[in-house]
Amino acid sequence: MSAPSHRTGETHASGLSEPVGARFMMARLRRWLGLGAAPDAPRGDGRPPGVPAADSPSAEPETGIPVPDDASIARFYVESLFRMADRDGSALSSTEREWLREHRERLRGQDTSFGGLVPRLPAAMPRLMAATRDPERTSARELARMIESDPVLAANVLKVVNSPAMRMRSEAVDSLEQAVVIMGFPGMREVIAAATISPIASFDTDPRLDAAAIRQVWAHTLEAAVAVRDAAARTSPADAFELYLAGLSHSSGLMVLLRCLKSLDDVRPSSMFPGELEALARRYSAAVARDWAFPKGTVEALDQWAEGRDTPGAAVLNAAVVCVRAGALAESGTISGEQLEVIRHRLPGFGEDRRERRDGHRPSDAITAE
């Protein structure tokens, strides 16, 4: 997945020249997502295309049901992570402005590492990724033994396999070899990627945060990653894994910044702070993906999502994240079930692929232990 080029005459593998190829792919994706025609340019108020003003619910033309816009969903979601948050329209405090300025500067100055804020990926990850791409030379038992060589990774793999987003059957999977047989090699590639990233969600939460809500952030992240993968598999299968990694990484910046709240003195956040935090967190997520040396397509999708750009990768990532976060907000009563259904119509087939797999449709590459 490459960044769009604006030079005329440049031909991509699809056989379409840029920008014609990019416009064709974008139009196809927008039709599939039900987003209508793409706007020609950013609005005069500086908002990127496709992003309405926060706190301005608009009625869907087909249903007449007013739903929060994407910016509001993002802010409401981050607000829900705090035990207390002002909702009276209060402006940023001076300490919040300084904290945000400091972390923006830190992002601009970061070169190759986030130090102790981001867990290191296991040294065995490249070897494991290579093994999952070559099932003819690696048996299920051999792959299981490779994973077992790292006990922490092995435990995380089983947690991911048995998670609601990944679970293939009602019974728990209790061995790595069984996991490989059930998931198949491409499935294990996704599981291993998730298991290596999941430690970023483990940290001592600030007392101002709701510990129960924070524990759900990783579950929501994994759900969004699966939704991105399933959506991309329908329109651009070659990009599905890179976009899946973008889904897995999209909340990494948020978790990094939540770890840093101890340096903020305010007892509770102002009304504006959650939205500002979420916007900055998107940029941090792209930086974390670079730090982890993730594929170019993954980093580009995260960069474009952070910038509010209406590209195919960013559009499907944003739609999946909004759908999952809206589900969490519906569970807490922040939005209604009717509003949730309207929002989820933006991502046709949301959750259907996962339900089909649970109903007994094993991966096409399901394998035996030998």
Residue 235 confidence (pLDDT): 85
Among the listed residues 219, 246, 225, 216, the one whose alpha carbon sits nearest the alpha carbon of residue 313: 246
Residue 20 confidence (pLDDT): 38
Tokens of 142: 């051999």
- pLDDT single digits (tens) 336-356: 999 999 999 888 777 665 555
- Diameter over CA atoms, the chain: 63
- Looking only at the bridges linking them, the beta strands covering 10-11 and 17-18 are antiparallel
- C-alpha to C-alpha distance for 361 and 97, rounded to whole angstroms: 51
> How many secondary structure helices (H) and strands (E) does the chain include?
15, 4
Higher pLDDT, 254 or 5: 254
> Measured in whole angstroms, how far is the alpha carbon of residue 337 from the centre of its chain?
23
- pLDDT single digits (tens) 124-179: 888 999 999 888 889 999 999 999 999 999 999 999 999 999 988 888 999 999 99
Tokens of 234: 């329908």
Please list the residues that pair with 58 across neighbouring strands.
67
- C-alpha to C-alpha distance for 97 and 193, rounded to whole angstroms: 35
- C-alpha to C-alpha distance for 286 and 306, rounded to whole angstroms: 8
Predicted TM-score (pTM) of the model is 0.79
- pLDDT single digits (tens) 179-214: 999 999 999 999 999 999 998 888 777 889 999 999
Percent of the chain with pLDDT over 70: 76
- C-alpha to C-alpha distance for 91 and 99, rounded to whole angstroms: 14
Spatial contact of 247 and 220, defined as CB atoms under 8 Å apart: no
* Minimum mean pLDDT range among 134-143, 217-226, 304-313: 134-143
